[in-house]
Structure 1
Amino acid sequence: MTDDAYLVLITDTAPDLGVPPAAAGESACMETPAVRAWLQAQGVSATSPDLRLVPPEETAAIPEDAERIPVPLGEEELIRVRHHLAPENLARLEEELLAYRSRVDGRDALLTRALAAGVPAHRVAELTGEELSVVKSMAR
């Protein structure tokens, strides 16, 4: 396994490989000089249906003779690519986990703001489901 994601020109032997580049959203890697030159050398555009982004853990499935180039994908881009590769039932759970992450990212700041605004610690604990001792420790 490699740590690089790859942009691959698919062949008849690998039709189910990876996801179209659009699955990663507006990826900056598609505008890099190296990728632009590679696309030109392959005679395809960035929107070609024959292009696939393959995450690092799936690169072993790339046929040896496939045209490919390593591409730098950011964490969010990789999350989107992996999400598109997941079976539908897992993709729904992944969406819930991402929503959860976005809610807890600002947890400490939100608790501190609520306490500073005068919301009693017991009410913050009740509304958030946090332990009262945790909420009280945020007030210090």
Structure 2
Amino acid sequence: MTDDAYLVLLDGTAATLGVPPVAVGELACMETPAVRAWLGAQGVTVTSSELRLVSPEETAAIPEGAERLPVPLGEEELSRLRHEMAPPSVAQLEQELLAYRSCTDGRGALLTRALAAGVPAHRIAELTGEDLAFIKAEAH
């Protein structure tokens, strides 16, 4: 396994590997001179049906002899790629987990602000569903 994702030209049955790069959204690597030159040398565009983006975990499945180019992806870009590659049921659960994370980000700061504003700990526990002991621990 490598740490890089790969742009790969695939045809036939191998075309189910990875995803079209456009499905992942904007990728910084697609604007680099190296990627532009590689696409030009291959005679394809970013919207070509045979162009696929393969995650680092899947690079071993790239057919031998397939034209490929390693591309570094940022953490957020790699997360979007993995999300696009996931089966629909898993992708839905990933969306729910991301929503959960966004709801819990800043939780401690919110509890601290509520306590500082004078909202009683028992009321915060009632409104948030958090354990009262946890709320009281945040107060100290």
Whether TM exceeds 0.5 here: the answer is yes
Q: Are 1:71 and 2:71 an aligned pair?
A: yes
- Percent of counterpart pairs with the same letter? 74
SS at match of 1:8: strand
Compute the displacement of 1:50 (Å).
1.6
Contact 2:4 2:71 in 1 (8 A): yes
* Corresponding position of 2:88: 88
Contact 1:121 1:135 in 2 (8 A): yes
Contact 2:22 2:46 in 1 (8 A): no
Q: Are 1:2 and 2:19 an aligned pair?
A: no
* Aligned residue identity for 2:54: V
* Aligned residue identity for 1:103: C
Q: Which moved more, 1:105-114 or 1:91-100?
A: 105-114
Dislocated runs of 4+, deviation >3 Å: none
Compute the displacement of 1:56 (Å).
0.8
* Aligned residue identity for 1:84: E
* Aligned residue identity for 2:110: L
* Corresponding position of 1:123: 123
Unaligned runs of at least 5 residues, structure 1: none
Partner Cα separation in structure 2 for residue 2 and residue 85 of structure 1: 17
* Length-normalised TM-score, structure 2: 0.91
1:8-19 correspondence runs (5 A): 8-19=8-19
Partner Cα separation in structure 2 for residue 29 and residue 118 of structure 1: 49
Compute the displacement of 1:117 (Å).
2.3
Structure 1 residues 48-79: Cα deviation after superposition (integer angstroms, max 9, x where no partner): 22211111111111011111111111222222
Partner Cα separation in structure 1 for residue 116 and residue 48 of structure 2: 53
* Aligned residue identity for 1:122: H
* Corresponding position of 2:31: 31
Partner Cα separation in structure 2 for residue 17 and residue 28 of structure 1: 22
Partner Cα separation in structure 1 for residue 36 and residue 93 of structure 2: 35
SS at match of 2:12: coil
Structure 1 residues 6-40: Cα deviation after superposition (integer angstroms, max 9, x where no partner): 11111225110101112222111111111111111
Contact 1:4 1:70 in 2 (8 A): yes
Contact 1:5 1:71 in 2 (8 A): yes
* Aligned residue identity for 1:2: T
Compute the displacement of 1:118 (Å).
2.2
Higher helix share: 2
